[in-house]
């Protein structure tokens, strides 16, 4: 960050030296040369850049009647660049001491943002210590920020060319084609007339079929309100070629024109009669939710897996839309929207809109525009980004699987948590929030039992089905006795084989993708590492490459060890790809599908995998944490957790919390219909208390154990955490900057500050990383904390050595 040297009316101009043209819209070196009076209107705008300031532009007279707050404008920036900015405020206070640049163009005739959205943007920027420009970039679809802009989807339609738009003109055209012996064109033209101007069968109408020639002319009703055929419709009806159609157009008989059409599909009429009646436990939970919503803004619905939380949500949604309100339904993963979408569509039809990053940018723009229209969607189902959409009549937000880490945005900024943003958004709209999960996050459960949130529990599975039986397998002992078959215990293989032979389905959970996490030289122990990151490379057999899972860089597998020239390279560990190969050999009756990041990159991959498994086309699903996130399959009777220790041994204070959530959730996929399921949990440490807590589904015992530890050592939910990251290509410079930042902050925060230290992965994308941890008591004023952090950052950046340092904050990290 460069040293601020000139302060404008809104923010700082980051320049090392005064230059002729300043980047924020004025030149401090020049004086106005025009004798015309200055404009009386100014706009403070947000630019889609990582800049934590508003920038002031003059509104020229020609645009003063069209510009409005929360509208987009085209502005110059720097010497030659132009950006689509958003007007945050209009005023008549002229900045002093410099010449202000003018807006170039007003893009919108009405706001594209609601007032409460702009307030929410500012809260996100302040709370998560992210530049307001980054919030702007994250919130709006790309099509609303690009200078080229969003282009509506159009269809090519056909109509009669003006010389032939009459009864006589049609006759002339028919004769022309007949005399030219253009029989294919003649047939195509007749098909066009038959379908564009069909005969009316009403009594008294003289219309008959289209004439074969001008001697059989009928009265064709030509009306501008008729809907012409699309180009594709005509070609399909006539079975003609594009060359034949082009010939008709070239003759001047037909002409084409474009009609704007929406990309959003209509999903049919709503069918509230498809709402299933609630069971007694569900009805009791529903009634308690309504009572809790009368008392508190946020309520936790703590229901075990397969207890029917979704049916309760559907009843809540119907209640709200019957009252003329809107609902936001958040899910942590795009994969989950596939199943939930179909359930909601059967009930709500075209009242449901879907919004997530797998949709095209143009589709997201159209949904944004529809939400601002007089006829918005009543329900939006979406992943994390849906929390940024405009809602005019929001009354309910459902955050399903609220514990999921996918709700937290990691990179790029703003590093917001969608659950927290949803709660703040709902508070501004005076709406209610329901947080649903079988395994609450520590923070949410703490807020619930302390009375800040309401708490409703649902302890019975739907139709009385029991929670799955969990059998723990001690793999350490089995390995000592050489009874393991690769990563599989005899019990796991036997139960998988039994389930598949009985026509049932099974799931294998291994939270590591690729073929093997490591390749190692058997002679000297050499392990290939990424050149840009401090991590071992993962072998992907499908691509035949070694891949870094941090920067994405790929390497060829070496033929020999570069350290000792040995040729005995072996794999260490098991990824989902390797499990797939092993299972194919051990269980030939298995029809295997694999769900991980590698198999779900392409469009529609989630849908195909889930549909195949749901239909029984595949009967064994191998996957990473994706398969633990609330998927609902009827015939899954066995779930195998291949290696629980990989999750428990993470160097993170949340390791046990996340491991419990993941294993409880993936185990909950078993036995969801009419039969108790079985979970085989393989671990080398069966004596750990968390293992018995998972077996007994005892979340309360887990919470008490972890809460005592975290209170003693000052971790959430008893303290707030702020991680401060410093990155630079020079490891020495990163260390020096981190030490200086730490020394400054320690003067104010004392023992609340830990570090700087190297994180477990201390170099990513060729940047060395240092990390400081700030623990903040709930009673401390967060605005004061942020002010001190930013002051320390400014002091650090005054040192020219650190001008190119990257420094950012992660508030409430996961």
Query: Residues 284-310: pLDDT tens digits?
Result: 999 999 999 999 999 999 999 888 999
User: What are the phi and psi torsion angles at 84 (to 5°)?
Assistant: -85, 110
How far, CA to CA in Å, does 716 sit from each of 441, 681, 719? Answer: 10, 28, 5
Supply the pLDDT for residue 680: 97
Between these two residues, 361 and 489, which has the higher pLDDT value? 489
Mean of pLDDT values over 418-423: 98
Supply the pLDDT for residue 39: 53
| Largest CA-CA distance found in the chain, in angstroms, rounded | 100
Pick the CATH number of 720-811 from 3.30.70.600, 3.20.20.60, 3.40.50.720, 3.30.450.20: 3.30.70.600
What's the CA gap between 125 and 128, in Å, rounded? 6
Supply the pLDDT for residue 149: 67
Report residue 12's pLDDT band, with 50, 70 and 90 as the boundaries. Answer: very low
Could you please state the CATH topology (level 3) that the domain comprising 4-144 is classified under. Answer: GIY-YIG endonuclease (3.40.1440)
* Exposed e or buried b per residue across 45-79, where buried means at least 16 C-beta atoms within 10 angstroms of its C-beta: bbbbbebbbbbbbbbeeebbeebeebbbbebbbee
**Each residue's pLDDT tens digit, 659-677:** 999 999 988 888 866 788 9
Cβ-based neighbour number of residue 696 at 10 Å = 12
- Please tell me whether the peptide bond between 756 and the residue prior to it is cis, using omega within 30 degrees of 0: yes
Between these two residues, 611 and 290, which has the higher pLDDT value? 290
How far, CA to CA in Å, does 308 sit from each of 197, 355, 601? Answer: 53, 24, 30
**Domain limits, CATH 3.30.70.600, in the chain:** 720-811
- CATH code of the domain made up of 274-413+431-452: 3.40.50.300
Sign, CA dihedral 167-168-172-175, equals: positive
Check if the beta carbon of residue 454 is closer than 8 Å to that of residue 299.
yes
* pTM given for the model: 0.82
Q: pLDDT at residue 744 above 60?
A: yes
Check if the beta carbon of residue 304 is closer than 8 Å to that of residue 460.
yes
Check if the beta carbon of residue 44 is closer than 8 Å to that of residue 89.
yes
Supply the pLDDT for residue 220: 45
**Each residue's pLDDT tens digit, 153-210:** 777 888 888 888 888 888 899 998 988 888 899 999 988 888 887 554 333 334 334 4
Q: pLDDT at residue 787 above 90?
A: yes
**Domain limits, CATH 3.40.50.300, in the chain:** 274-413+431-452, 469-512+576-711
Could you please state the CATH topology (level 3) that the domain comprising 469-512+576-711 is classified under. Answer: Rossmann fold (3.40.50)
What's the CA gap between 151 and 157, in Å, rounded? 18
Which is it for strands 505-509 and 636-641: parallel, antiparallel or unpaired?
parallel
Supply the pLDDT for residue 222: 47
């Amino acid at each position: 960050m460069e040293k601020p040297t000139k302060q404008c009316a809104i923010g700082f101009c980051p320049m090392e030296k005064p230059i002729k043209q300043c980047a924020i819209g004025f030149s401090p070196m020049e004086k106005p040369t025009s004798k015309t009076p200055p404009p009386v209107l100014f706009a403070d705008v947000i630019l889609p850049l990582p800049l934590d300031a508003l920038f002031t532009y003059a509104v020229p007279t020609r645009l003063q009647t069209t510009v409005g707050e929360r509208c987009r404008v085209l502005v110059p920036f720097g010497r030659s660049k132009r950006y689509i900015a958003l007007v945050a405020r209009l005023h008549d206070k002229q900045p002093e001491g410099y010449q202000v640049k003018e807006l170039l163009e007003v893009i919108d005739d009405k706001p594209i943002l609601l007032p409460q959205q702009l307030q929410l943007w500012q809260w996100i920027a302040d709370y998560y210590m992210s530049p307001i420009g980054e919030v702007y970039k994250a919130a709006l679809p790309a099509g609303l920020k690009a200078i080229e802009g969003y282009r509506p989807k159009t269809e090519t339609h056909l109509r009669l060319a003006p010389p032939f738009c009459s009864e006589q003109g049609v006759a002339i055209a028919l004769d022309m084609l007949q005399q030219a012996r253009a029989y294919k064109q003649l047939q195509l033209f007749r098909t066009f007339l038959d379908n564009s101007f069909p005969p009316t069968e009403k009594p008294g109408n003289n219309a008959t079929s289209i004439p074969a020639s001008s001697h059989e002319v009928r009265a064709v009703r030509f009306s501008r309100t008729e809907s012409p055929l699309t180009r594709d419709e005509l070609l399909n009806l006539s079975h003609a070629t594009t060359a034949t159609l082009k010939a008709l157009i070239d003759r001047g008989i037909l002409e084409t024109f474009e009609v704007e059409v929406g990309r959003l599909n209509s999903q049919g009429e709503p069918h509230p009669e498809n709402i299933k009646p609630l069971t007694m436990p569900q009805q009791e939970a529903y009634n308690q939710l309504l009572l809790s919503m009368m008392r508190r803004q946020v309520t936790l619905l703590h229901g075990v897996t397969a207890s029917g939380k979704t049916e309760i949500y559907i009843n809540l949604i119907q209640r709200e839309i019957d009252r003329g309100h809107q609902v936001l339904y958040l899910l942590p993963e795009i994969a989950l929207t596939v199943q939930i979408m179909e359930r909601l569509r059967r009930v709500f039809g075209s009242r449901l809109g879907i919004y997530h990053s797998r949709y095209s940018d143009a589709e997201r723009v159209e949904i944004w525009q529809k939400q601002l229209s007089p006829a918005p969607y009543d329900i939006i189902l979406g992943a994390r980004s849906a929390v940024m959409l405009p809602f005019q009549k929001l009354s309910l937000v459902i955050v399903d699987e609220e514990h999921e880490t996918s709700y937290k945005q990691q990179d790029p900024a703003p590093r917001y948590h969608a659950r927290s943003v949803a709660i703040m958004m709902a508070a501004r709209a005076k709406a209610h929030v329901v947080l649903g999960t079988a395994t609450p996050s520590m923070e949410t459960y703490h807020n619930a039992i302390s009375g800040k949130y309401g708490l409703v529990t649902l302890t019975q599975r739907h139709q009385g089905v029991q929670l799955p039986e969990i059998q723990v397998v001690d793999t350490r002992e089995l390995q000592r006795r050489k009874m393991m078959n690769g990563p599989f215990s005899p019990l796991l293989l036997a139960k998988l084989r039994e389930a598949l032979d009985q026509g049932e389905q099974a799931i294998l959970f291994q939270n590591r993708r690729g073929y093997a996490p490591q390749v190692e030289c058997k002679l000297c122990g050499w392990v290939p590492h990424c050149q840009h990151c401090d991590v071992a490379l993962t072998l992907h057999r499908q691509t035949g490459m070694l891949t870094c899972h941090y920067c994405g860089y790929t390497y060829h597998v070496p033929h020999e060890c570069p350290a000792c020239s040995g040729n005995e390279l072996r794999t260490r560990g098991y990824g989902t790809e390797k499990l797939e190969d092993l299972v194919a050999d051990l269980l030939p009756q298995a029809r295997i599908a694999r769900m991980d990041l590698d198999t779900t990159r392409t469009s529609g991959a989630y849908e195909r995998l889930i549909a195949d498994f749901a239909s029984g086309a595949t009967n064994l699903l191998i996957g990473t944490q994706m398969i633990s996130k609330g998927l609902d399959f009827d015939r899954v009777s066995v779930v195998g957790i291949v290696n629980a220790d990989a999750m428990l041994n993470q160097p993170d204070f949340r390791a046990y919390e996340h491991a419990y959530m993941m294993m409880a959730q993936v185990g909950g996929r078993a036995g969801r219909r009419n039969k108790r399921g079985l979970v085989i949990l393989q671990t080398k440490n069966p004596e750990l208390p968390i293992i018995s807590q998972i077996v007994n589904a005892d979340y309360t015992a887990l919470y008490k154990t972890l809460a005592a530890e975290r209170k003693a050592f000052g971790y959430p939910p008893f303290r707030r955490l702020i991680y401060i990251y410093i990155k630079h290509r020079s490891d020495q410079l990163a260390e020096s900057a981190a030490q200086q930042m730490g020394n400054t902050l320690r003067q104010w925060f004392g023992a609340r500050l830990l570090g700087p230290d190297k994180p477990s992965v201390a170099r990513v994308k060729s940047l060395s990383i240092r990390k400081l941890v700030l623990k903040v008591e709930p009673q401390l004023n967060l605005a004061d904390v942020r002010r001190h952090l930013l002051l320390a950052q400014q002091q650090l950046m005054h040192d020219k050595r650190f001008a190119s340092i990257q420094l950012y904050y992660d508030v409430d990290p996961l």
